[in-house]
């Protein structure tokens, strides 16, 4: 009961749908904070939590477990650089918002990408915002270990960092363009000006909200973004913005959407005919700007229709239509705001065996047991695309389309090119009449298949 009440509070405070990460993750956070404050007495902790804003923030800090790195989804940075060069050529001073910014890797990446692209350093400023005070403090420190640098292309590290005994320190040239502050996207008193940001990055947050909260959050993002601005989301969130009527920019794997279907050239022309280009100095929002508050619009829960065609045709056909189970990484519990893509299971032979056992239960028609085993698998071995894909199939077969959609979106976050998840999610959206979004997913699946043909 106490954990359920706390889950409801977390949803109110930060929009988190506890089912998106599993109640076990919430229980662990509650146990940890109760042990630290009341000797493990959860009833006493509930009383403490109700009257202590400081402890409320401590619980949020415990729930938020970030996992990020520099130049994640590098294609989006290429798209940003191209758009920024175009806007800067019209004399515009660019403001960019990164929310949630976690420990600062994304805002600093944005600044590095723009500097490397030759955008005038005097013409852009980046603001990073996160609900976690601790992460904001780490971001302001600008000091990173080797785990923050992934992939084979690390030439930017030599250009923009100084190696120290404590780690890699962000160069003053990059720091000069980035500022951080704490804030909650769903706070009605969010201290950010409306219609102020040319580019807004909000990646891999919306997947942890329910439908109504997603719509409210996107409404806030759109109000913060200029009418001719662009919003960047994560791979698993692209269909959501399409469903809400936004137009995706034609740039592979950038997952960038125009805030309004408006011709950019005409907007620049209007600026020149009117008050002229914006100031060359991209000053931070002033106190006066901050009084222009944004409030989440009331969302509406989407009406969900029937299960996907794959689920209606039976579990066995759906599961066997996909690729064979592959290995998955062993990790800690799946983090709620940021997860890291699978990279391999590091020799843990229990992972593929566990997934195979789940599929065997499902093939035998023991769906409830399979679902419980899948939840236990994620609890034990951590998040992986294979695990969430199986969970999606199980939810599909159990006629739970909302849960299945959430699982498929998590699959696509961990593996954006997961062909079967793309197809099953497309089927779900088609049953709700979201034909354009479904067509987009099927096109992504087709491109994946063509690359492997």
Instruction: Give pLDDT tens digits for 335-353.
Output: 332 333 333 344 456 788 8
Note the pLDDT of residue 258. 94
Average pLDDT over residues 390-407: 85
In angstroms, the CA 259 to CA 256 distance is 10
Instruction: Report residue 241 as tokens.
Output: 């913005």
Note the pLDDT of residue 313. 32
In angstroms, the CA 55 to CA 61 distance is 10
* Residue 316 scores a pLDDT above 50: no
* Residue 330 scores a pLDDT above 80: no
Residue tagged 């125009």 (tokens): 258
Report the range out of 7-21, 68-82, 430-444 with the highest average pLDDT: 68-82
Note the pLDDT of residue 324. 27
In angstroms, the CA 307 to CA 311 distance is 6
Report the range out of 52-61, 96-105, 292-301, 384-393 with the highest average pLDDT: 96-105
Nearest residue to 181 via CA among 135, 237, 233: 135
Q: What average pLDDT is seen over the chain? A: 77
* Residue 441 scores a pLDDT above 60: yes
Least confident of 19-33, 68-82, 102-116, 319-333: 319-333
The values of phi and psi at residue 225, to 5°, are: -80, 145
In angstroms, the CA 21 to CA 32 distance is 17
Note the pLDDT of residue 22. 66
Note the pLDDT of residue 414. 81
Instruction: Give pLDDT tens digits for 144-194.
Output: 999 899 877 899 999 999 999 999 999 999 999 999 999 989 888 888 999
* Residue 251 scores a pLDDT above 60: yes
Q: Which residues contact 161 (CB under 8 A, 6 or more apart)?
A: 144, 168, 169, 170, 171
Note the pLDDT of residue 58. 86
138 and 167 Cβ atoms separated by less than 8 Å:
no
* Residue 265 scores a pLDDT above 50: no
Instruction: Report residue 89 as tokens.
Output: 């050529």
């Amino acid at each position: 009961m106490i954990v359920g009440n706390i889950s409801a509070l977390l949803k109110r405070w930060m929009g988190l749908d506890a089912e998106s990460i599993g109640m076990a993750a919430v229980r662990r956070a509650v146990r940890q904070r109760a042990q630290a404050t009341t000797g493990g007495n959860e009833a006493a902790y509930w009383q403490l939590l109700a009257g202590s804003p400081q402890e409320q923030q401590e619980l949020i800090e415990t729930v938020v477990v970030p996992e990020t790195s520099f130049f994640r989804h590098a294609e989006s940075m290429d798209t940003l650089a191209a758009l920024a060069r175009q806007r800067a050529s019209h004399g515009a001073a660019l403001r960019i918002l990164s929310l949630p910014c976690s420990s600062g890797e994304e805002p600093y990446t944005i600044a590095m990408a723009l500097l490397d692209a030759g955008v005038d350093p005097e013409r852009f400023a980046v603001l990073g915002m996160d609900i976690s005070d601790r992460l904001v403090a780490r971001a302001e420190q600008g000091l990173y270990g080797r785990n923050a640098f992934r992939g084979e292309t690390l030439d930017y590290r030599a250009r923009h960092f100084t190696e120290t005994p404590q780690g890699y320190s962000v160069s003053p040239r990059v720091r000069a363009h980035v500022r951080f502050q704490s804030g909650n996207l769903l706070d009605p008193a969010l201290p950010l000006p409306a219609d102020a940001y040319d580019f807004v990055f909000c990646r891999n947050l919306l997947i942890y909200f329910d439908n109504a909260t997603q719509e409210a959050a996107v409404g806030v993002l759109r109000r913060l973004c200029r009418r001719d601005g662009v919003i960047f989301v994560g791979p698993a969130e692209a269909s959501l913005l399409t469903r809400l009527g936004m137009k995706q920019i034609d740039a592979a794997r950038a997952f960038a959407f125009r805030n309004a279907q408006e011709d950019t050239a005409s907007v620049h022309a209007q600026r020149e005919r009117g008050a002229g280009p914006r100031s060359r100095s991209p000053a931070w929002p002033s106190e006066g700007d901050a009084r222009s508050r944004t409030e989440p619009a009331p969302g509406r829960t989407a009406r969900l229709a029937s299960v996907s065609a794959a689920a209606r045709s039976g579990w066995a056909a759906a599961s066997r239509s996909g690729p064979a189970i592959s290995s998955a990484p062993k990790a800690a519990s799946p983090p709620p705001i940021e997860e890291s893509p699978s990279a391999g299971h590091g020799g843990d032979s229990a992972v593929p065996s566990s997934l195979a056992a789940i599929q065997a239960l499902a093939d035998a028609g023991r769906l409830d047991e399979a679902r419980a085993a899948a939840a236990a698998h994620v609890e034990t071995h951590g998040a992986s695309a294979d695990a969430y894909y199986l969970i999606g199939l199980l939810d599909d077969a159990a006629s739970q389309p909302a849960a299945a959609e959430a699982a498929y979106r998590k699959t696509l976050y961990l593996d954006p090119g997961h062909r079967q998840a793309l197809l099953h999610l497309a089927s779900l959206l088609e049953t709700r009449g979201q034909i354009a979004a479904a067509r987009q997913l099927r096109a992504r699946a087709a491109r994946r298949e063509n690359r492997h043909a």
